Amino acid sequence: AQQLGMPLSDQEYREFFRSLRAARRASTACLLRALYGCQNPLIRRLDEYENHGVIPEGPICSELPGTPFFPNFCSFSFYRCTRKRYFIKV
């Protein structure tokens, strides 16, 4: 069992992104994020699911070379969306 607020394991990420695997589905989630922000109930549910029920407050460390830190999970998620790198893990 994972701790609340911890990122999903690799296997859990595969399962989580299975429904979003098609780039158009992931880009739709990003469009909702851009239109309504991270406080939108649907976006919050996705973010909570991605992090075992709790959205990390920050700072966020990522696996991205050259961009290792983000001030919060919302910033990290927007980065993934703007760069169309939908499946990058924290």
Does residue 65 lie in a domain region? Answer: yes
Number of domains in the chain: 1
- Angle between helix axes 41-50 and 73-83 (nearest 10 degrees) is 100
Domain that residue 14 falls in: 10-83
Question: Is 50 inside a domain boundary?
Answer: yes
Split at pLDDT 50, 70, 90, the class of 1 is: low
Structural domain contains residue 38: yes
Sign of CA dihedral 82, 85, 89, 90: negative
**Could you tell me if residue 18 is inside a domain?**
yes
* 5 inside domain: no
* Tokens encoding 76: 């990290």
Q: Answer yes or no: are the C-beta atoms of 76 and 68 closer than 8 Å.
A: no
pLDDT digits (tens, 9 = 90+) for 26-73: 788 899 999 999 999 999 998 998 888 999 887 888 877 777 789 999
- The letter for the amino acid at 45 is R
Q: Which two tokens stand for residue 26?
A: 């992931």
Strands 69-70 and 60-61: antiparallel
